[in-house]
């Protein structure tokens, strides 16, 4: 079994993750992240932040990128794991980097992320402001939500090849 796992280790991937996110080195696998994660609780441990960090430390690239087990896309970015971590490991940032690697590797990822990307391109916001949201914000006397400058967003997206990376078809040409 150990031999099989050693064959799966990708030290280059591991070192790349550690280089990108230095806090990964500090994890001593206490499991606090998983015990504080609402998604881990709801999925009865199917989603497991500790396991993702463990696989990152071990350089198990295929499990994280190709197999996506556990599925890093289930992270709801609530930051509970980060708040509770006794070693101040920035788990959600590590998960974000893994998600980026999945996309860049051309592996499948949830359609909702493409939908949000299209919304950012079209509206300057991931979730467009609807009339009901505006009405509720007015009732609560909250400030108006300003959309980012769409031309500036398009320049940034073009500079990073965003559309190509997520295989979006530009609809507004």
Whether 150 shows a pLDDT value over 60: the answer reads yes
- Within the chain, all domains assigned CATH 1.10.1060.10 are found at 2-104
The Cα–Cα gap between 28 and 153 comes to 39
Write down the pLDDT at residue 172.
32
**CATH (one of 1.10.1060.10, 1.10.1040.10, 1.10.340.30, 1.10.260.40) for 2-104:** 1.10.1060.10
Q: How many other C-beta atoms are found inside a 10 Å radius of the C-beta of residue 2?
A: 6
**What's the pTM?**
0.76
Beta-carbon contacts of 41 under 8 Å, excluding residues fewer than 6 positions away, are none
Q: How many other C-beta atoms are found inside a 10 Å radius of the C-beta of residue 75?
A: 22
Cα angle: 128, vertex 129, 134; to 5 degrees: 175
Per-residue pLDDT tens over the stretch 9-56? 888 888 888 888 779 989 999 999 999 999 999 999 899 999 999 999
Check the CA dihedral 38-39-43-46 and report its sign.
Answer: negative
Write down the pLDDT at residue 171.
36
Q: How many other C-beta atoms are found inside a 10 Å radius of the C-beta of residue 106?
A: 10
Write down the pLDDT at residue 3.
57
Average pLDDT over residues 91-100: 93
């Amino acid at each position: 079994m150990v031999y099989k796992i050693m064959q799966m280790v990708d030290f280059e991937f591991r070192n790349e993750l550690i280089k990108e996110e230095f806090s990964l080195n500090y994890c001593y696998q206490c499991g606090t992240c998983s015990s504080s994660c609402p998604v881990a609780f709801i999925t009865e441990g199917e989603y497991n932040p500790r396991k993702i960090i463990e696989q990152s430390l071990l350089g198990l690239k295929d499990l994280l990128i190709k197999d996506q087990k556990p599925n890093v896309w289930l992270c709801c970015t609530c930051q509970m794991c980060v708040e509770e971590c006794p070693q101040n490991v920035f788990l959600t940032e590590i998960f974000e980097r893994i998600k980026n690697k999945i996309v860049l590797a051309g592996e499948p990822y949830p359609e909702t992320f493409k939908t949000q990307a299209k919304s950012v391109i079209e509206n300057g916001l991931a979730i467009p402001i609807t009339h009901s949201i505006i009405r509720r914000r007015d009732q609560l006397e909250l400030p108006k939500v300003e959309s980012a400058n769409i031309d500036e967003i398009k320049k940034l997206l073009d500079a990073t090849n965003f559309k190509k990376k997520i295989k979006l078809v530009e609809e507004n040409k």
